[in-house]
Structure 1
Amino acid sequence: MNPVFKEYGLKDLLPLKLDIPDEGCTRPNKNMYCFEAGEIRVNEQLVLTVMHTLMAREHNRVAKALAEVNPHWDDETLYQESRRINIAEIQHITYNEAGVLDEYVMGLMNQVAQAMDDSITQEVTNHLFKKVGARFGMDLVSFNMQRGREFGLPGYMEFRKFCGLPGAETFQELFGSMTNQTVRKYETIFEHPIDVDLWSGGVSERPLPGSMLGPTFACVIATQFSYSRRGDRFWFELPNQPSSFTPEQLVELRKARLSRVICDNTDIIDTVQLYPMVLPDHELNPRVPCRSGIIPSMDFSKWAEPAPFHNGNAKEFVSSFSYNPYLGKK
């Protein structure tokens, strides 16, 4: 980590990307660096950087807590178990909470997300990764559709069929599923509805009631979430595996909350709503103090292990008995 603000009593940032500094990083000059993380897209936009920073801090916080209950653990053991707990936290939060450094976290918690639609900001359609002095950058929308075509991804109509939704033989049949303006644009671009790319058709659908997504993407994402959980033999709740957590540890892991991660790993945030990805509401999602005890914390004593027996303390071990037939009474 990068303790650049340690002298001010602030928590660490991610380490700087000194090795291959231009990879995934737009630098105004050679004296400025982006952040290094386990995923190359950490510097693509600030919210990704914030989330990576939060979880890296959480990993180190967990490692310190484990070291307190297991002072005999070496660095590798602490790292691996902290990583395992970190993954379990992310899995639990992702699948159980509705769906970030201090000011940015506060902004994410208080600003309404934009509606899901087919209108894309020019910052990612014309200026993505734009170099200093250049007029234009790359186009994320084009990338999305290009990758789908290169991977041989079936089109929008095929996925509607997969999801049990009605298809369309004419563009007129799409009226009602998306705006009239979008349908008319499709008529000028494609010869047949079967030619529409999945990503384009999916983001163009009218959202389902109470959802940000239309029916096709709701189906695809829900299906993928189900497959990701059921197909993961390291899923944190899976029993009877060498990597399985104990029942007592699972009780603690299920206390994981994004609100707790935010409280424990930011510097100036002292209140947070129970579900940070949902706007605060006085009755349904109130903001509470981090130290109120309302947001649960994990008890790491459930990970405590006895120190291994060494020959050096054999005499102390033997003398702990009140009677030994070879030594007589204590």
Structure 2
Amino acid sequence: MVMAWGQFIDHDFIRTPISSGGLKMKGNGLPGRPTGCVIDQSPNDYCYHAGDERVNTVPSLGTTHIIFLRDHTRIANELTNINPMWTDEIIFQETRKIISAFNQQITYGEFLPVLLNEKLMKNYGLNNAPCHSDVYDETVNAATGNAFDVAVFRFGHTLIPHFQGLMNDDLVTIEKFKTETTFNRPFLIQKANGTNQYFMTRWMTVGPAGRMDRIFEKAILDLLFVDSNGDSFDLPSLNIQRGRDHGTPGYNDWRRWCNLPRATHFGSNAGGLVNHTPDNAMRLGNVYQDVDDIDLFAGGITETHIEGGGIGPTFACMLGRQFKNFKIGDRFWYEQPPQHLGGTGFTKGKYKKIRQL
């Protein structure tokens, strides 16, 4: 979401006006929101200002923004020293290009292989290339599919842990917070002159996460954004309702789209919900009157994982196709050769450095 809504794509409103090619910062972190902040905890606290308006929702999201912000500034400073004649605009655009390449390298090199097995990574052409590769196809639409947005990629909500925490240099947890107590509290990473940002990053890197299954933490079921009246939201139900509001076809329709067998009954045997355990199939049968009524999110999130992967076959198919389109439909994909589009690709040396991430 940093790349989709953050300051590195279309929302460069926190770009610094001075000639540095960098982005606005407050100390070593994100700038404060000039207006509209209603979650101050004390006079010294402030709301973050970023391309994603949810940057203050949970401290881990704010930390992610800060990581990319600092890296942008670091690279911009290095490019300025190496190329003193470059204009601010050139430095900014080159830095953004490098940051985008970092994100693509990490996503396709580390994130997707955890979700998809080796066979699917190969079938969809998602593995990072050892050298330059011209994969661009101008006939491919790289836009995000609606069903992917409102259902498939929200599988991550099952990974939300019960606690958020801070971890020191020795990877020892020094403080933990129940996740529901961290909503709209950016000051948790502003404390100690911002050093909590480092502690939060370590926790995010090696701390425990939830399992990708139908189980959700209470923090996002009954305790999400509790108001003064005790009313709250339920994130999984919001996901389902969003799919309905968008007119997203049901689970069975997407099974057919993926060339997977449609279910005709609520059993887990042949002709039924064959990628579900008997228990999960029964639970869906207790909620829906007909198998064709099963919502995509509910059906996908309850599937048994593919062998060697972290999601079920329906979500794996939809995710694989979407990320294939992201890759081959992107004319600025980072693996493109140097001469691509009049010299917009990375040189061999730069590409090698990016691949070392």
Whole-angstrom CA distance in 1 between matches of 2:282 and 2:41: 42
Residues 33-182 of structure 1: matches in 2 within 5 Å?
33-98=46-111, 101-131=197-227, 133-173=228-268, 174=272, 177-182=275-280
State the match for 2:31 in structure 1.
15
The aligned amino acid for 2:32 is L
SS of aligned partner of 2:241: helix
Superposed CA offset, 1:71-109 (max 9, x none)? 122322221211111111111221122459322222233
Matched ranges for 1:164-203 at <5 A: 164-173=259-268, 174=272, 177-203=275-301
- SS in structure 2 opposite 1:19? coil
Single out whichever of 178-187 and 67-76 deviates more from structure 2: 178-187
Q: Percent identity?
A: 32
TM-score by length of 2: 0.63
Inter-CA distance 256–36: structure 2 relative to 1 (3 Å threshold): farther
Alignment partner, residue 254 of structure 1: 354
8 Å CA contact 1:177, 1:206 repeated in 2: yes
Could you say if the C-alpha distance between residues 28 and 122 of structure 1 is closer, same or farther in structure 2, counting changes exceeding 3 Å?
farther
For residues 150 and 113 of structure 1, the distance between their equivalents in structure 2, rounded to whole angstroms, comes to 30
* CA 30–159 in structure 1, closer or farther in 2 if over 3 Å, else same: farther
Q: Deviation at 1:220?
A: 1.0
After TM superposition, the runs of 4+ consecutive aligned structure 1 residues lying more than 6 A away are none
Deviates more, 1:170-179 or 1:76-85: 170-179
| Deviation, structure 1 residue 243 | 6.2
Q: TM-score normalized by structure 1?
A: 0.67
Amino acid at match of 2:97: R
- The 2-side partners of 1:112 and 1:209 are apart by 22
CA distance in 2 between counterparts of 1:230 and 1:253 reads: 22
Counterpart check, 1:219 vs 2:314:
no
Pairwise CA distance, 1:31: 6.9
| Residues 222 and 234 in structure 2, CA contact (< 8 A), matched pair in contact too | yes
Aligned CA RMSD, in angstroms, stands at 2.4
Residue type of the partner of 2:329?
A: G
Task: Give CA-to-partner distance per residue, 1:248-291, whole Å, 9 cap, x none.
Answer: 3543453352xxxxxxxxxxxxxxxxxxxxxxxxxxxxxxxxxx
Equivalent residue for 2:345? Answer: 245
Whole-Å separation in 2 of the counterparts to 1:44 and 1:82: 27
Distance 1:139 1:175, change over 3 A: same
Describe the shift of the 1:43–1:242 C-alpha distance in structure 2 as closer, same or farther (beyond 3 A). Answer: farther
- Structure showing greater radius of gyration is 1
Cα–Cα, structure 1 residues 81 and 156, in superposed 2: closer, same or farther, change >3 Å? same
Give the secondary structure class of the aligned counterpart of 2:326. Answer: helix
Q: Aligned partners of 2:48 and 2:235: how far apart in 1?
A: 21
Amino acid at match of 1:102: Y
Distance 1:152 1:28 in 2: 40
Aligned to 1:233: 331
Tell me by how many angstroms 1:67 deviates: 0.3
| Separation (CA, whole Å) in 1 of partners of 2:56 and 2:79 | 30
Q: 1:256 to 1:40 in 2, by over 3 A?
A: farther
Distance in 1 separating the partners of 2:354 and 2:44: 44
Secondary structure in structure 1 of the residue aligned to 2:37: coil
- Relative to structure 1, the CA distance from residue 117 to residue 184 in structure 2 (aligned partners, 3 Å threshold; closer, same or farther) is same
Q: How many residues align?
A: 246
**Structure 2 residue matching 1:18: 3-state secondary structure:** coil
Compared with structure 1, are the counterparts of its residues 94 and 243 closer, same or farther at alpha carbon in structure 2 (3 Å cutoff)? farther
Task: Check whether the contact 1:89–1:253 (CA below 8 A) recurs between aligned residues.
Answer: no
In structure 1, what is the equivalent of residue 175 of structure 2?
Answer: none
How far apart, CA to CA, are the structure 2 residues paired with 1:109 and 1:31? 28
Aligned mates of 1:243, 1:137 — CA distance in 2: 52
The secondary structure found in structure 2 opposite 1:149 is helix
